[in-house]
Amino acid sequence: MAKPIEDTSRLCVHTMTTKPLSLGEAIDAYQQKDINAMTVWRQHVEPLGVKESAKLLKESGMNVVSLCRGGFFPATSGTGREQARTENRQIIDEAAELGAPVVVLVCGADPDIDLATARQHIADGIHAIEPHAKACGVKLAIEPLHPMYADTRSAICTMDQANNLITVLESDYIGIAVDVYHVWWDHFLRAEIMRAQDKIFAFHVCDWRVPTRDLLNDRGLMGTGCIDIPEIRGWVEKAGFDGFIEVEIFSDELWASDQEKYLRRIRNAYLRHV
Ligand code: ZN
């Protein structure tokens, strides 16, 4: 049988993409557009609490793809690093309760810590929380971030660094989240995606606006920027990835727009430009 013409069965939207909507509003709005998967951000869980949010998600039948986000392991003091691990174990517990099989890790960086040391803090932190992730049946996806965030958000900036990290940490519970926004520019992207193989746990899409007006909150809807998303999707699928395709867009402009209409645009952009 031919694939349905408008197949949204692999489409997932991050609650941060429709930031103004509460968790309950997002569930309703997504399902009305035949979007049956979401990645949940902790700030959208917070108002109801984990228990109530879990109940709401379960009753809706929504597929929970990931919980965003854990990480931020580097710290100047040992106490700070230990606190980060404790918080990450709690985030893993939350993911298990919400039915999210993956926690996405934004690994962290600190301008007072050199990048090599920060990467060691990250490796040590993930190594320390891995047994808890395994015990809870929750996988950890390291998301390399664009190097413009190497000051305060992530010392893991390339797929090469993420692959090196998962090689050292070697666990079925540790893999990579490939986000086109962060890695599209990388000359070695195709090779590193092939190297990651079945360790690609998540695939995030949006577009790179030209020009980008804000370093954080000016991501574009797919098809409105310069990233060749279908090409990168082809690579991750060739590497073996067959999971959800997650629309993750931080955009002051799009958050200010009518979220119902915006979801229709997301659906159309997914069908045409991914
Ligand atoms: Zn992402």
What residue spans define the domains of the chain?
11-273
Task: Give residue 6's pLDDT band: very low, low, confident or very high (50, 70, 90).
Answer: confident
Cα of 180 vs centre of ligand 1, distance in Å, is 8
Q: Which residues pair with 13 in a beta bridge?
A: 38, 247
Cα of 205 vs centre of ligand 1, distance in Å, is 7
Cα of 194 vs centre of ligand 1, distance in Å, is 19
pLDDT in tens, 167-209: 999 999 999 999 999 999 999 999 999 999 999 999 999 999 9
CB within 8 Å of 36: residues ≥ 6 apart:
8, 9, 30, 61, 62, 63
pLDDT in tens, 52-84: 999 999 999 999 999 999 999 999 999 999 999
Task: Give residue 3's pLDDT band: very low, low, confident or very high (50, 70, 90).
Answer: low
CB atoms closer than 10 angstroms to residue 219: 24
Dist CA 102 CA 175 (whole Å): 10
Q: Enumerate residues with CB within 5 Å of ligand 1 (an ion).
A: 179, 204, 248
Percent of the chain with pLDDT over 70: 99
Cα of 1 vs centre of ligand 1, distance in Å, is 33
- CATH superfamily, with its number, for domain 11-273: Divalent-metal-dependent TIM barrel enzymes (3.20.20.150)
Cα of 145 vs centre of ligand 1, distance in Å, is 8
Cα of 41 vs centre of ligand 1, distance in Å, is 11
Cα of 59 vs centre of ligand 1, distance in Å, is 27
